[in-house]
């Protein structure tokens, strides 16, 4: 019963997270689409066969609402499907490597390297935090952050408003940014592991 309750709770959190991301991304995309079609209708009406500014405004509202709703629905669904597929593939391709670890927490994630959001898998062990990219990236890499070098873990919003970001500051002042699911759970798990590691070092 306890395991089932935890699983149902995680599913509910995941659903609520997808709904929140869908609403925010849909609103953003809808507004951008609306502005785009409004400018197009006002400055280039003959291209669209528009005869008045009222028609241009009505068309922009329709395009914004329609595009925003579609984007808000299909982005979370498509992302969820892709993440599940990549997770299964990652586990299969890295079975030996994963079996050699004591895994405290893991999930699909993205790591920012310059302008690229590199997709892959984030893995927390008692010794370090690992990120390993999948093959569908330009900058494929493996990142290892020893827990003794983790100075601070905090929340950061992706694209300034999407609530899926997390950043880690190392003792050397370097900042690594990730996009993750359940970022509060990630931060709690990392902080617990870092505290445990420090306690072991002080013994």
* One domain for residues 67 and 19: yes
Q: For residue 148, which of 132, 165, 168 has the smallest C-alpha distance? A: 168
Which residues share a beta bridge with 131? 122, 143
pLDDT at residue 115, as a whole number: 78
User: Domain residues for 44?
Assistant: 2-82
Secondary structure class of 139 (helix, strand, coil): coil
Indicate if 182 and 130 belong to the same structural domain. yes
Shared-domain flag, residues 112 and 169: yes
Residues 6 or more apart from 78 whose CB is under 8 A from it? Answer: none
Q: Residues 6 or more apart from 183 whose CB is under 8 A from it?
A: 155, 163, 164, 165, 166
Q: Which residues of the chain have pLDDT under 70?
A: 1-18, 21, 79-80, 82-83, 86-87, 93, 159-162, 203
**87 is a domain residue:** no
∠ CA 142-105-97, rounded to 5°: 45
Question: What is the count of structural domains for the chain?
Answer: 2
Last residue of a domain, one of 82, 113, 138: 82
My answer on whether 128 and 37 are in the same domain is no
The pLDDT of residue 9 is: 35
User: DSSP characters for 90-110?
Assistant: HHHHTHHHHHTS--SEEEEEE
The Cα 70–Cα 26 span in angstroms is: 8
Find out whether 112 and 178 touch, Cβ atoms under 8 Å.
yes
Predicted pLDDT of residue 10: 37
In a 3-state reduction of DSSP, which class is residue 135? coil
Do the Cβ atoms of 155 and 169 come closer than 8 Å? no
> CA angle at residue 189 from 183 to 190, to 5 degrees?
90
Query: pLDDT tens, 1-28?
Result: 323 333 333 333 456 666 776 787 788 8
Q: CA-CA distance, 103 to 124, in Å (whole number)?
A: 6
105 and 52 within one domain: no
């Amino acid at each position: 019963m306890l395991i089932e309750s935890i699983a149902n709770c995680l599913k509910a959190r995941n659903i609520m997270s997808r709904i929140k991301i869908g609403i925010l991304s849909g609103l953003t995309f809808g507004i951008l689409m609306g502005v785009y079609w409004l400018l197009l209708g006002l400055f280039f009406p003959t291209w669209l066969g528009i005869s008045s500014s009222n028609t241009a405004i009505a068309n922009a509202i329709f395009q914004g609402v329609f595009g925003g709703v579609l984007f808000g629905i299909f982005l979370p669904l498509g992302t969820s499907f892709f993440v599940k597929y990549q997770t299964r593939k990652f586990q299969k391709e890295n079975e030996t490597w994963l079996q050699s670890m004591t895994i405290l927490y893991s999930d699909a994630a993205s790591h920012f390297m310059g302008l690229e959001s590199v997709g892959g898998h984030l893995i927390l062990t008692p010794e370090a935090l690992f990120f390993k990219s999948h093959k569908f990236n330009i900058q494929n890499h493996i990142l290892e952050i020893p827990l003794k070098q983790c100075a601070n873990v905090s929340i950061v919003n992706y694209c300034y408003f999407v609530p899926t970001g997390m950043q880690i500051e190392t003792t050397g002042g370097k900042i690594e940014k990730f996009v993750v699911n359940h970022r509060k759970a990630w931060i709690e798990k990392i902080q617990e592991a870092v505290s445990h590691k420090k306690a072991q070092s002080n013994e």
